[in-house]
């Protein structure tokens, strides 16, 4: 793959703006272009302030209640069993462009807020663990999602970035690169992989493992298999999903993306994969213009992609409705082995890059509900990955409230949110999503009819008729509802084949459980 580059002299390198005011981040996260790849190891920050080395994976036994054979727990194991949150930081301090919204200030702002609100291991002891010094991802990890030609081309482009300062990759959206971008993108992907390893290992020794949060950049959900896009270099959550499958045998991965922009890269990576369910909520019509409701996957993966474009102005009520009425039933039916989350905080009402009305309280509810969903469905295995969020205050406060949700503590959203700036949500345009899962009462569908159980029509002649009747009924009802509510963003599909696919897909996911 040929990467066409437009070079710009970095004002950071020319000295017109300091890299960062002297602080802990400059020293701790000083970029190092030549990173020596070593055996995967990590350091846990313990409550006593000391650090103990823990090699992955940790597979120590636990003492049986009846006094049976056991292997003595290490201090790190005990900390891991007590933890509610495990997080890791890869802020990519060298990957930065002056005045760009996706800047090197984002992750430090989050860490500052966590410290200010006493939500780190320094203040919380074993409740909160920080995974340090995670190994960068290997090329073999990246090629599980991205083309090898893209990876080698990006690595070669670092030489030009070193000479010219900042380069912009033409044709990939507003994506820039510096001389450290390649290595820091490997570090971000590796951090996500290490957290998946830790959470999965914790689930083997605890019924309530900690929820992971990768505080990383560059973000990843726009990066397509063939190249970067929209601030994103490598698909961090997609790479982690493949790692969970290959390294841990977790076949079924459920990915929730609540960034304000559609995660087109993740969408494309798994569009034909029956074992990875990708569900995205995003603002309708926002960058990159993908993620239409009729895009439900293809081939064996048809029905394993669900895009829910929310109209501008949607907020807390809309998101809670969509979560309760659609996301939860889809997750329950899919029955995942692990849940991964592309956690974008740019749907916040204060964020400058979109027009939704999420609040800090919305993100607290999402985090709390997703954690609970993971506990119910997949043994608590759940890892969040930072995506967007460009107002530093709303980003840092919302992530801090996400930590509170993981800890099971009350939200502090009232200290930050200002309800007076919110306006009425367009609920009449959000209702069709929930409507498709609720308008037809399950009691109207005869119990006992085999539904998608691999029977042929000859074996069960009622199956085809019942299914067709269900789809036609839901289709007609949905059409009438759209017309009555003037839902322009969906009504435009009319009686097209796309509309038929939408109604069939949504109806099947709701009724499949009560017809089997």
From 222, 261, 282, 348, active-site residue: 222
Helix intervals (H) in 206-295: 236-248, 264-269
Nearest to 195 by CA among 248, 117, 139, 127: 248
For tokens 């509610």, the residue is 84
Helix intervals (H) in 58-144: 75-82, 106-116, 121-124, 139-142
Helix intervals (H) in 207-347: 236-248, 264-269, 316-322, 328-334
- Cβ neighbours of residue 450 under 8 Å, at least 6 residues apart? 460, 463, 515, 516
Secondary structure of 146-198 as H, E, C letters: CCHHHHHHHHHHHHHHHHHCEEEECCCCCCEECCCHHHHHHHHHHHHHHHHHH
- Strand-pair category, 166-169 with 5-8: antiparallel
> How far apart (Å, rounded) are the C-alpha atoms in residues 176 and 320?
35
Name the token pair of 425. Answer: 């949500």
How much of the chain is in helix, strand and coil states, percent to nearest 5? 45, 15, 40
> How far apart (Å, rounded) are the C-alpha atoms in residues 383 and 186?
18
> How far apart (Å, rounded) are the C-alpha atoms in residues 156 and 281?
35
DSSP state, residue 326: I
Name the token pair of 158. Answer: 């670092």
Nearest to 90 by CA among 181, 169, 199: 181
> How far apart (Å, rounded) are the C-alpha atoms in residues 447 and 294?
29
Active site residue 222: yes
> How far apart (Å, rounded) are the C-alpha atoms in residues 444 and 441?
6
| Cα dist from 419 to 237, 352, 366, whole Å | 33, 18, 18
Q: Quick one: 159 exposed, middle or buried, by C-beta within 10 A (0-12, 13-18, 19+)?
A: exposed
- Cβ neighbours of residue 449 under 8 Å, at least 6 residues apart? 460, 462, 463, 466, 515
Name the token pair of 182. Answer: 């390649």
Name the token pair of 393. Answer: 């205050």
Name the token pair of 487. Answer: 């839902």
Angle subtended at Cα 82 by Cα 81 and Cα 88, rounded to the nearest 5 degrees: 85
Nearest to 370 by CA among 425, 331, 325, 317: 331
Q: Residues with catalytic annotation?
A: 222
């Amino acid at each position: 793959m040929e990467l066409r580059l437009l070079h710009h002299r970095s004002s950071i390198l020319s000295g017109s703006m300091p890299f960062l005011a002297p602080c802990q981040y400059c020293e701790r996260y000083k970029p190092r272009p030549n990173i020596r790849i070593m055996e995967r190891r990590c350091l846990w920050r313990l409550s006593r302030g000391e650090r103990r080395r823990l090699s992955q994976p940790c597979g120590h036994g636990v003492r049986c209640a009846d006094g049976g054979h056991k292997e003595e727990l290490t201090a790190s194991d005990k900390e891991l069993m007590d933890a509610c949150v495990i997080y890791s930081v890869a802020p990519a301090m060298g990957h930065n462009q002056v005045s760009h919204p996706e800047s090197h200030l984002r992750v430090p702002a989050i860490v500052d807020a966590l410290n200010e609100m006493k939500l780190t291991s320094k203040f919380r002891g074993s409740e909160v663990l920080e995974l340090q010094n995670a190994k960068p991802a290997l090329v073999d990890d990246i090629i599980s999602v991205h083309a090898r030609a893209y990876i080698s081309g990006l690595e070669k482009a670092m030489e030009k970035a070193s000479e010219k300062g900042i380069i912009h990759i033409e044709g990939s959206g507003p994506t820039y690169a510096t001389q450290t971008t390649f290595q820091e993108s490997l570090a971000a992907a590796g951090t996500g992989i290490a957290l998946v390893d830790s959470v999965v290992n914790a689930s083997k020794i605890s019924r309530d493992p900690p929820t992971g949060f990768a505080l990383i950049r560059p973000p990843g959900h726009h990066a397509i298999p063939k190249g970067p896009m929209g601030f994103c270099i490598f698909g961090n959550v997609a790479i982690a999903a493949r790692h969970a499958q290959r390294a841990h045998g977790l076949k079924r991965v459920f990915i929730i993306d609540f960034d304000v922009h559609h995660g087109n890269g993740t969408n494309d990576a798994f569009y034909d994969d029956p074992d990875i369910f990708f569900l995205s909520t995003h603002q309708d019509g926002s960058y990159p213009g993908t993620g239409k409701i009729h895009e439900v996957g293809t081939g064996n993966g048809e029905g394993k992609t669900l895009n829910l474009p929310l109209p501008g102005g949607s907020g807390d009520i809309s998101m809670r409705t969509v979560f309760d009425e659609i996301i939860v039933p889809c997750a329950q039916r899919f029955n995942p082995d692990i849940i991964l989350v592309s956690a974008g905080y740019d749907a916040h009402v204060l964020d400058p890059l979109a027009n939704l009305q999420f609040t800090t309280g919305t993100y607290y509810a999402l985090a709390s509900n997703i954690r609970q969903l993971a506990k119910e469905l997949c043994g608590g295995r759940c890892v969040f990955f930072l995506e967007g969020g460009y107002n530093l205050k709303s980003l840092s406060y919302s992530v801090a409230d996400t930590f509170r949700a993981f800890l099971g503590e009350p939200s502090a959203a009232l200290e930050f949110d200002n309800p007076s700036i919110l306006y009425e949500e367009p609920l009449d345009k959000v209702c069709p999503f929930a409507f498709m899962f609720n308008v037809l009462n399950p009691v109207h569908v005869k119990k006992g009819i085999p539904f998608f159980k691999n029977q042929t029509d000859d074996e069960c002649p009622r199956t085809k008729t019942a299914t067709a009747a269900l789809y036609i009924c839901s289709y007609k009802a949905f059409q009438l509802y759209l017309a009555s509510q003037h839902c322009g963003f969906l009504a435009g599909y009319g009686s097209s084949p796309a509309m038929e696919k939408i109604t069939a897909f949504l109806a099947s996911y709701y009724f499949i459980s009560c017809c089997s």
